[in-house]
């Protein structure tokens, strides 16, 4: 059911055998067979399949997949190319354009970011249609926390972008001596319109750090 990139598979094999993950797998199988869920079941691990572990440069943390028909594609904040931009993604693109003085991307599919080493990781990797948060507290958070800890302890010089209170709580999982951690408000209109998002300059700060470490920059 879960197909995952080989280099991630070797890292997480032992985690897949944990009792909590076996229970999670049963929950997902039942949920997808009985209700409409997103993303499509073969895209649940898209964040890993499009961003190889050995190529990892940036981690962007989200919460839930979008719960509307045709939106979620397994990447945090990303939607399929034909879909209108959700408000948070629209604000991400506005900040990107202001920060780097470039035109925003033409659509909301962030696969090109993932292919360059940006892990777009939601805390919960699935959701029932129309019910935000419906797959929380089933085991996904334990798994994705393990992902963050593993990246922190097994890599160096990765940039973690923590947007909003939920993401910022993950800071305790990250070795800030070995990585760069950037925090700001969430790009949702509620936060952004209060001045907690725009002007954070995260996209230019990512590339400045990568340049300092001799790594290839992200073409945002």
**Active-site residue list:** 64
Task: Give the integer Cα–Cα distance in Å for 62 and 27.
Answer: 21
The CA-to-CA distance between both ends of the chain, in Å, stands at 32
Q: Which two tokens stand for residue 63?
A: 């919460």
Q: Which helix (H) or strand (E) holds 119?
A: strand 118-122
* Burial class of residue 24 (count of CB atoms within 10 Å of its CB; 0-12, 13-18, 19+): buried
Contact 136, 85 (CB under 8 A): no
- The length of the chain is 220
Query: Angle at the Cα of 85 (from 83 to 198), degrees rounded to 5?
Result: 165
Residue 198's contacts (CB-CB under 8 Å, 6 or more residues apart) are 91, 94, 95, 98, 192
Residues contacting residue 154 through CB under 8 Å, at least 6 positions apart: 11
**Contact (Cβ atoms closer than 8 angstroms) between residue 64 and residue 133:** yes
Cβ(187)–Cβ(167) under 8 Å? no
Task: Report the SS3 class of residue 196.
Answer: coil
């Amino acid at each position: 059911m879960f197909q995952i990139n080989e280099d991630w598979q070797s890292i997480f094999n032992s985690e897949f055998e944990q009792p909590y993950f076996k229970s999670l797998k049963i929950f997902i199988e039942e949920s997808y067979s009985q209700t409409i869920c997103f993303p499509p079941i073969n895209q649940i691990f898209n964040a890993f399949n499009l961003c190889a572990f050995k190529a990892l440069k940036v981690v962007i943390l989200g919460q839930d997949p979008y719960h509307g028909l045709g939106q979620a594609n397994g990447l945090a904040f990303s939607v399929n190319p034909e879909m209108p931009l959700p408000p948070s993604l629209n604000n991400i693109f506005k900040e990107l354009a202001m920060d780097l003085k470039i035109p925003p991307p033409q659509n909301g599919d962030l696969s090109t970011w993932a292919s360059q080493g940006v892990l777009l990781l939601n805390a919960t990797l699935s959701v029932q249609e129309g019910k935000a948060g419906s797959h929380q507290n089933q085991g996904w958070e334990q798994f994705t926390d393990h992902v963050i800890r593993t990246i922190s302890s097994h890599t160096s010089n990765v940039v973690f972008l923590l947007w909003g209170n939920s993401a910022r709580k993950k800071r305790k999982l990250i070795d800030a001596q070995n990585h760069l951690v950037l925090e700001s408000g969430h790009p949702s209109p509620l936060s952004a319109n209060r001045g907690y998002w725009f002007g954070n300059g995260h996209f230019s700060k990512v590339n400045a750090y990568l340049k300092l470490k001799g790594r290839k920059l992200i073409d945002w």
